[in-house]
Amino acid sequence: NKSGRKSTEMADPVYPGDVLHKSAPLIEWSYEQQLGMKSTHIKTAVRAFTKQVAQKCKDLNQPEPSWTSHAWSKASGAPLGCACPLDDIIGTPADSLEGYRNKCEFSIGWDANGEVECGFVQRITDDGFGRLVASCEEVPLVPQVMKRLCQAVRDCARTSKFAIFKRGKGWKSGFWRLVMARFSGSELLVMVQTATATGEEKEQLCAEIRAALTQESLQLNVVSIYLQFNDEVSDAARPTAPLELIYGQSQLRMKLLGLAFDIGPLSFYQANSITCELLYGRALEWLQPKEEVAVLDVCCGVGTIGLCASQKCRKVIGIELVPEAVESAKANAALNEIHNTEWTVGKAEDVLPKLLEEMDPSLQVSAVVDPPRPGLHHVVLRALRSCSQLSRIVYVSCNPDSLVEDVVKLTMPSENDEDPFVPVRAVAVDMFPHTLHCEMILLLERMSQVKDPRKTEAPAAAPADEATNDT
The amino acid that residue 442 corresponds to is L
- Pairing, β 171-173 against β 176-183: unpaired
Q: Report helix, strand or coil for 339.
A: coil
- The Cα–Cα gap between 367 and 406 comes to 15
Closest C-alpha among 235, 270, 266, 236 to residue 251 = 266
Which letter does DSSP use for residue 67 in this model? G
**8 A C-beta contact, residue 14 and residue 132:** no
Contacts of 339 (CB under 8 A, 6+ apart): 333
Q: Can you spell out the DSSP letters for 215-255?
A: -GGG---EEEEEEEE--SSSSS--TTS-EEEEEE-S-EEEE
**8 A C-beta contact, residue 91 and residue 37:** no
**8 A C-beta contact, residue 296 and residue 319:** yes
Name the β-bridge partners of 341: 316
CA-angle at 145, arms to 225 and 214, nearest 5°: 40
| Annotation marks residue 398 as catalytic | yes
**8 A C-beta contact, residue 428 and residue 439:** yes
- The Cα–Cα gap between 402 and 377 comes to 11
- 338: buried, middle or exposed (CB in 10 Å: 19+, 13-18, 0-12)? middle
Which letter does DSSP use for residue 70 in this model? H
Which H or E run contains 206? helix 199-213
Among the listed residues 276, 299, 398, 438, the single catalytic one is 398
User: Could you give the count of Cα atoms lying within 13 Å of 467 in the half-sphere of its Cβ?
Assistant: 5
- The Cα–Cα gap between 14 and 34 comes to 15
- The Cα–Cα gap between 84 and 429 comes to 17
Among all residues, which ones are annotated catalytic? 398
